[in-house]
Amino acid sequence: MKNFFMPSADSPALQWLGFLLFLLILCVCLGAFVVWLTTSKHGKPKRKRKHRHHRSANPTLAQTGGLPPKRAPDELPPGP
């Protein structure tokens, strides 16, 4: 059998490998949390809209009484 090199626990290579593994697990967990927040209804409060059905925003001419009477051509329009 061949002897394979087994690094000790104090070697910088194993410490970096452990750190990179920790970062990978952290990124996966944070990504899953962000996906859960954006897709679930748990993080978004529902807002109720207030509807005003008793009045319309722009009434029609029929609702307001139609057009005003015609004025004479020499008459000036009413001022403010």
Would the pTM count as exceeding 0.75? no
Domain-located, residue 9: no
Domain-located, residue 37: yes
**Residue 34 structural domain:** 14-41
**What secondary structure does DSSP assign to 13-65, as a single string?**
HHHHHHHHHHHHHHHHHHHHHHHHHHH-STTS---PPPP--SS-SS--HHHHT
Q: From residue 4, how far is each of 1, 7, 17 by CA, in Å?
A: 9, 10, 18
User: Cβ atoms within 10 A of the Cβ of 43, count?
Assistant: 9
Domain count, the chain: 1
Domain-located, residue 34: yes
Domain-located, residue 30: yes
pLDDT digits (tens, 9 = 90+) for 5-46: 666 767 788 888 889 999 999 999 999 999 888 887 665 566
Domain-located, residue 26: yes
